[in-house]
């Protein structure tokens, strides 16, 4: 049943399969290898896209002051932005999620929800959540309070920040 001829065929089959895989690898390397030394310092650029005024300085974007934007904020638009926040926060007093309740946050002392375990960096904050403070925090949470547990990257648009703060104040 198992003789020398069967063993020879089995070894020959494995050697043939290995040869096909090696030849396939060589063919693929030949097709897709772009040449050059991959470890050298010389880099060849395939093409250049010319940009108009590439060397000119960008025009300075004039940032509008937050209090000017906040004066005309739309709380209804802030309610739509709230959907990003509701995954971690609640608006009901005493109901904490991953983050503390935001009920009455505008004008409230910072890190003042007694039922919530703030990070040590946040617990050391002293002050009141004014609309300006909220705007700075919402723009870059980890930049304004290094060490915060809030992993949200922030809201870059000043109008969106003003709208959500107006909504928080109206709902609060």
Global confidence as pTM: 0.62
For the domain covering 66-171, report its CATH number.
Answer: 1.10.760.10
Domain boundaries, the chain: 66-171
Query: Helices 75-85 and 158-171 sit at what angle, rounded to 10 degrees?
Result: 90
Confidence band, pLDDT 50/70/90 cuts, at residue 62: low
**pLDDT tens by residue, 124-167:** 888 899 999 988 889 998 888 888 888 888 888 899 989 999 98
- Above 80 in pLDDT, residue 8? yes
Nearest to 139 by CA among 127, 157, 124, 125: 157
51 pLDDT more than 80: no
Question: What backbone phi and psi angles, to 5 degrees, belong to 7?
Answer: -65, -40
3-state secondary structure the chain: CCCHHHHHHHHHHHHHHHHHHHHHHHHHHHHHCCCCCCCCCCCCCCCCCCCCCCCCCCCCCCCCCHHHHHHCCCHHHHHHHHHHHCCCCCCCCCCCCCCCCCCCCCCCECCCCCCCCCCHHHHCCCCECCHHHHHHHHHCHHHHCCCCCCCCCCCCCHHHHHHHHHHHHHHC
pLDDT of residue 145: 87
Taking only the tens place, the pLDDT of each residue in 83-115 is 888 888 888 888 888 888 888 889 989 888 888
Q: What are phi and psi of 50, to 5 degrees?
A: -70, 135
């Amino acid at each position: 049943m198992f003789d020398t001829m069967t063993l020879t065929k089995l070894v020959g089959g494995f050697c043939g399969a290995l040869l096909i895989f090696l030849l396939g690898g060589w063919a693929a390397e030949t097709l897709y290898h772009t040449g050059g030394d991959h470890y050298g310092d010389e880099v060849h650029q395939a093409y250049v896209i010319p940009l108009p005024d590439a060397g000119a300085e960008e025009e300075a974007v004039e940032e509008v002051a937050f209090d000017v934007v906040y004066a005309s904020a739309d709380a209804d638009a802030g309610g739509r932005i709230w959907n990003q926040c509701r995954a971690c926060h609640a608006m009901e007093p005493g109901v904490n999620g991953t983050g503390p309740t935001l009920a009455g946050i505008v004008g409230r002392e910072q890190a003042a929800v007694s039922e919530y375990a703030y990070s040590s960096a946040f617990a050391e904050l002293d002050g009141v959540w004014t609309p300006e403070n909220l705007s700075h925090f919402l723009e870059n949470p980890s930049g304004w309070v290094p060490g915060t547990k809030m992993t949200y990257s922030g809201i870059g648009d000043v109008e969106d920040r003003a709208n959500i703060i107006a909504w928080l104040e109206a709902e609060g």
